[in-house]
Structure 1
């Protein structure tokens, strides 16, 4: 407490750099740490045993050598990741071009196509004479042409918050187009079910697709992946900041945040199962919104109810070498492969297989895959490991929460950041962490 310190001690405390505790070492927490590195003393708390969150690189033993394969953050592009690209340049991170092709395989291979070129579009030759398939291709062009115009036209009307599903039904896009193109593509991007995709705000989805060149054949961005795996940028950052006042605590769970007369007190559960208290000036919760809500609920912070509106869903990623989790036709094999092994007439369970040899510059001829939510059993002898991830559900509730959360940012020196505040991807997380870091610095320089 301040009253227990002499005037000189209080002056010294105020002259020192502020102590900022960052909870969560995903891209938002790492970005905040980087931008605060010369302005604060930092304690970075991570509940897991590695830094990075969805930046997750695995050393897999293949052909008697170690191959570094990513299972979370894999790719970025030269158009919509400006902050990340600048940071990678500062850290001297090497990258290489990545293929971003996409395929759909439904009904255990009964229906397959890929959008790479004419040969892959008609990977199944009978589709050349399939009227429903040809109409789907025309509907793709119609959606790409009309959806951005309709979003602009709706802005000052009651339809401004229309969902994707409502729009598709209103504009009479049939189930064939929805289930064999648009919903699979969006489901693969955001790692969620087709029913959840239909709840997405139309404006959000169309804006993302426009910015990422998904609504045009020309002017698409070039995609890249990090050489040696995405953990390379974390290792580079740790090397640059090695001599700065940054304390890293892995296997440590933040339990609560409390206000004290001289700042904030964070209670943690340490790796050895003991409880400890950390005094600080600011706390940044760069964890998932639902986890941040649980931490803040202990003190009834105003942000708790807003954060509680944001939902996350669990997804299982399996790293393996089983090609039965790819399209039946090798001509349809793509970087992203949307798969269902259920009947075409059923309400299918959906999974996505990433063909890592196409996405990363892997030093092996063996085919390596990462399948999210597999819909059939993978050959156990071909599995390397399984990992559980949690992804934000990008629905209307999230949009409302993000609009409201800024009202409470910095209240009692408590801040939140996360990719979920933007489109859910790495650039959004990077910018969110940077923005909060700059706000904290403002507090001490004005």
Structure 2
């Protein structure tokens, strides 16, 4: 029997909230509340006028791939949104010591020709190959204890300092917007599984990465089209009350009642909205998944890229002046990632504001990223304790999995399925089972 239609409130207009509202609006009357003046969350495309050309440049969500983003790809296909192939390459450079390499090709690997004569550089390469072989073996044999930290795992392998500080920790820190210290405390099993699934432990078996043509914001309009008239921008939810009849949301405009509420905002934001209404389980679970704010700058200062142009990559890690507690500075070369045909090189840099020439800055932004600690992993497993129809309250967001766009969509489908048993996409009839199959076979 088809469940009766309900009035459902979705709090948060990022990928998870927009997807949840899109799926649920097929059967229900859905209202979406977003505190910001725009939709998208980490989907933030900026218009740039160079005087001779108009460009749409992404500053938050940029890439996805054909292997580990099945739900996001299916959603884009349903909206008629197409992607374009891009290059996913990584460089590391340390200007103060004139050290740099780009692992994309053999030529870019030795972009700094003096590395051909450095035994230390060959030890780094050997450690990378040795780690990749070991990590794949340990992942496939399920040999990594749940309590093992990445730092302890690396220590047991006897890898050199260059491997730690000029390769693995910077790469992990850039992916999760975390510091070297945080990466050392990262769950090793979580880290290795992610690297294996994304082809980062292999030189050949790698997925095809893509960007969205015209900028990632292109998917927002078709995604919200079914419920556009019930999107409330610049409308933070400041309070919530649950009772036997439903849920009452309070905004500056007053109180509105709904049958169900979906929290698609960050875990800490959900806790603030719940306030004294939060249950002990909600305080414990949501309070265990923290966020860290990161600065983002769109600019044209190519000094943030490696000194040698042949070392320029899609992702470029700058090691200068970094201590263990500072987030890894990373600069995205948007001309490579978005296939921009421009004489100007556009860059997006995280966590390196002071090094950028202010005269070349096009925009400054700030995004918050989830921090995946052991406590956070344990909290993720308790989703069912707080997200259920009995309490008329549901939670979705990328923080329930790996922190990326795919995870936001996956978590939204899980909520849609829990509310009315719908199967919005054939690949996501049971999102939790799909995730387990992906973990086993990717």
TM-score w.r.t. the length of structure 2 is 0.90
2:242 match: 259
User: Following TM superposition, by how much is the alpha carbon of 1:67 offset from its aligned partner in structure 2, in angstroms?
Assistant: 0.9
1:264-287 Cα distance to aligned partner (Å, 9 max, x none): 10112xxxxx35111001111010
Structure-to-structure mapping, 1:28-427, within 5 angstroms = 28-108=16-96, 110-153=98-141, 155=143, 159-239=145-225, 241=226, 244=227, 247-268=230-251, 274-301=252-279, 302-342=281-321, 350-374=328-352, 376-410=354-388, 411-427=390-406
Which 4+ residue blocks in structure 1 deviate beyond 3 angstroms?
A: 151-155, 345-350
1:273-331 Cα distance to aligned partner (Å, 9 max, x none): x3511100111101011111222233132312210111110100000011111111111
| Alpha-carbon separation, structure 2, partners of 1:128 and 1:319 | 34
Unaligned runs of 5+ residues in structure 1 are 1-13, 269-273
Aligned length: 419
Q: Which moved more, 1:386-395 or 1:349-358?
A: 349-358
User: Following TM superposition, by how much is the alpha carbon of 1:176 offset from its aligned partner in structure 2, in angstroms?
Assistant: 1.3
| Alpha-carbon separation, structure 1, partners of 2:68 and 2:128 | 23
1:31-63 Cα distance to aligned partner (Å, 9 max, x none): 111111211111101111111100111111223
- The 3-state SS of whatever aligns with 1:313 is strand
1:5 match: none
Task: Kindly name which structure, 1 or 2, has the bigger radius of gyration based on alpha carbons.
Answer: 1
Unaligned runs of 5+ residues in structure 2 are 423-442
Kept in 1, the 8 Å contact 2:95–2:307? The answer is: no
Kept in 1, the 8 Å contact 2:178–2:327? The answer is: no
Q: Give the 3 Å change call, closer, same or farther, for CA 15–145 of structure 1 in structure 2.
A: closer
Q: Give the 3 Å change call, closer, same or farther, for CA 85–154 of structure 1 in structure 2.
A: closer
Kept in 2, the 8 Å contact 1:67–1:363? The answer is: no
TM-score w.r.t. the length of structure 1 is 0.89
User: Following TM superposition, by how much is the alpha carbon of 1:245 offset from its aligned partner in structure 2, in angstroms?
Assistant: 7.9
| Alpha-carbon separation, structure 2, partners of 1:15 and 1:392 | 34
Q: Give the 3 Å change call, closer, same or farther, for CA 384–15 of structure 1 in structure 2.
A: same
User: Following TM superposition, by how much is the alpha carbon of 1:353 offset from its aligned partner in structure 2, in angstroms?
Assistant: 0.3
1:7 match: none
| Alpha-carbon separation, structure 1, partners of 2:387 and 2:74 | 26
User: Following TM superposition, by how much is the alpha carbon of 1:398 offset from its aligned partner in structure 2, in angstroms?
Assistant: 0.9
| Alpha-carbon separation, structure 2, partners of 1:262 and 1:359 | 50
Kept in 1, the 8 Å contact 2:174–2:328? The answer is: no
